[in-house]
Amino acid sequence: MVRTSIQEDTIVNSLIGEGAEFKGEFKINGLLRIDGKFTGTIETDGKVLVGKGGEAITDIEASIVVVGGSVKGNIYATEKVVLLSSGNVSGSIITPSLIMEDGVKLEGKCTINKSPVK
pLDDT one-digit tens code per residue, 5-54: 344 455 667 888 888 888 999 898 889 999 999 999 999 999 999 999 99
* Nearest C-alpha neighbor of 116 from the set 100, 97, 101, 103: 97
In the three-class reduction of DSSP (H, G, I as helix; E, B as strand; rest coil), residue 42 is classed as: strand
Q: Tell me what pLDDT residue 115 has.
A: 64
Please report the DSSP string for 62-111 in residue order: EEEEEESSEEES-EEEEEEEEE-TT-EEES-EEES-EEE-TT-EEES-EE
Q: 2 falls in which pLDDT band (50, 70, 90)?
A: very low
Full-model pTM: 0.86
Mean pLDDT of 61-83: 97
Distance, in Å, from the CA atom of 75 to the CA atom of 30, rounded to the nearest integer, reads 17
Q: 90 falls in which pLDDT band (50, 70, 90)?
A: very high
Domain spans of the chain, in order of start: 8-112
Contact 69, 88 (CB under 8 A): yes
* Nearest C-alpha neighbor of 68 from the set 56, 51, 47, 93: 51
Q: Tell me what pLDDT residue 63 has.
A: 95
Contact 55, 37 (CB under 8 A): yes
Q: Tell me what pLDDT residue 30 has.
A: 84
